[in-house]
Amino acid sequence: MKTKMTLGLVAAVLLTQAGCTTKIRSLPMPAALQTRNAQDVALYFGDEAHAPVKQTFGNKEFAVRMNRQPESSKEVTCNLALTKALQQLRDYAREQHANAVINVKTRFQSTITASATEFTCGASLNGSTLAVRGDVVTLETN
């Protein structure tokens, strides 16, 4: 009797933990985030070409976790997390009076992506997590 109860408890714990496993995903960068608005802080992912740097304000990282809504897919939740993290990065750049963030990378744990076409996100049944990092700068303008 005790053995059956112990096995039942172990099985319940394993099933609960299996549902919460976070998977590292590489997803396509949303098109809206790939365009640059001259009125906003420009984002340059990875080694994308940009104007010469006039002033640098250092490297900044923001991590975001978004809870998944029942009707949302993991991809949608990852996109929302990315959008929120990039907005925080832009807000910080504005506070520094910078006009761009260069060398932008996305990260989940030790998996890093430096790409204008893909980003890294950790997705589970409960939500999505990622971090964005970049160099906050003022670029020369013509």
pLDDT, one tens digit per residue, over 30-84 is 888 777 777 789 999 999 999 999 999 999 999 999 998 888 888 899 999 999 9
Q: With 70 as the cut, is the pLDDT of residue 5 above it?
A: no
pLDDT band at 11 (very low <50, low <70, confident <90, very high): very low
Sign of the CA dihedral with 139 first, then 49, 119, and 28 last:
positive
Which tokens go with 70?
């029942």
pTM score: 0.82
| Fold (CATH) for 22-139 | Translation Initiation Factor IF3 (3.30.110)
- Residue 114 tokens read as 């430096």
The residue among 11 and 51 whose pLDDT is bigger is 51
In this predicted structure, the answer to whether residue 6 has a pLDDT above a threshold of 70 is no
Report which of 89, 86, 100 is spatially closest to residue 139, judged by C-alpha positions: 100
C-alpha closest to that of 97 among 135, 65, 126, 57: 57
Q: Where are the alpha helices (DSSP H) in 1-142?
A: 2-19, 31-34, 74-95
